[in-house]
């Protein structure tokens, strides 16, 4: 398949030549949270067929944005991981996510899927460094069958898939409640109080959890003046 190009000697156009095809940025989004097996990527990207997934991965390999790796024991299976060049797309994708939270999200559509694991990147996008000043804590989130954790270290965050070795606080909830927490105004304290979520661990870490992640309220992309 011939690669399409804008044929412009421009950094933006050259970048879009590399990552502008459909599904490519979403593949990079998946790999930003760690190496993934082919089947993991297919499960997270419903609607992306096997052939097109293979083609997109080959493209990322060919362009030096991803590479094949072998997962450490006990898995010892083949997977895909980002190269240094691929990892440096992370800030751009986080900015796209922040823009989307403000200008593109709204209510979920009936045809849309949601995987709680996507929140790993969302935690980074919504993180408020000032609210985490002086805090050192590890939070483990259990959303239905998905488990991920966030390590907070005095205004910085590292969010990863999988359980934490020694979490300071653990929060458990379901997907519907989690969506309400991330986009419909429900706070962690309210969710715990009404039974939609449960929490255990260090009381100070749990107290500060509510202020660590700030979802911007959705904004209309067209003003009343523009639509009148």
Average pLDDT over residues 60-76: 93
147 has a pLDDT exceeding 60? yes
Q: Which domains does the chain have, with CATH numbers?
A: 11-88 (1.10.10.10), 116-212 (3.30.1050.10)
Residue-level pLDDT at 185: 63
Helix axes 50-62, 24-31, angle to 10 degrees: 80
Q: How confident is the model at residue 84 (pLDDT cuts 50, 70, 90)?
A: very high
Tokens of 82: 């980002």
Mean pLDDT, the chain, integer: 91
Residue-level pLDDT at 212: 92
Tokens of 56: 């997109």
Highest mean pLDDT among 24-28, 158-162, 188-192: 24-28
Among the listed residues 155, 158, 157, 159, the one whose alpha carbon sits nearest the alpha carbon of residue 134: 155
3 CB-near residues (< 8 Å, 6+ apart): 17, 59
Residue-level pLDDT at 63: 97
Average pLDDT over residues 124-146: 95
DSSP state of 188: H
Tokens of 225: 């003046």
The 10s digit of each residue's pLDDT in 173-197 is 999 888 887 765 677 888 888 889 9
**202: number of CA atoms within 13 Å, CB side?**
14
Query: Greater confidence, 219 or 132?
Result: 132
Beta bridge partners of 169: 139, 201
The C-alpha R_g of the chain, in whole angstroms, comes to 19
Percent of the chain whose predicted confidence (pLDDT) is above 90: 69
């Amino acid at each position: 398949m011939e690669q399409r190009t804008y044929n412009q000697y421009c950094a933006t156009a050259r970048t879009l030549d590399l990552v502008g095809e459909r599904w490519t940025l979403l593949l990079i989004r998946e790999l930003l949270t760690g190496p993934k097996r082919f089947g993991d990527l297919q499960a997270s990207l419903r609607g992306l067929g096997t052939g097109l997934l293979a083609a997109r991965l080959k493209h990322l390999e060919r362009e030096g944005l991803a590479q094949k790796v072998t997962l450490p024991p006990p898995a010892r299976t083949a997977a895909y991981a980002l190269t240094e060049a691929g990892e440096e797309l992370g800030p751009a994708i986080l900015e796209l996510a922040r823009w989307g939270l403000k200008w593109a999200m709204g209510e979920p559509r009936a045809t849309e899927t949601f995987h709680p694991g996507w929140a790993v990147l969302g935690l980074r996008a919504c993180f408020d460094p000032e609210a985490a000043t002086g805090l050192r804590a590890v939070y483990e989130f259990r959303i239905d069958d998905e488990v991920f954790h966030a390590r907070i270290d005095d205004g910085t965050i590292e969010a990863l898939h999988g359980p934490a070795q020694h979490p300071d606080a653990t929060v458990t909830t379901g997907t519907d409640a989690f969506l309400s927490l991330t986009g419909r105004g429900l706070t962690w304290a309210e969710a715990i109080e009404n039974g939609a979520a449960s929490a255990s661990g260090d009381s100070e870490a749990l107290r500060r959890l509510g202020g660590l992640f700030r979802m911007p309220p959705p904004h209309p992309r067209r003003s009343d003046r523009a639509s009148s």
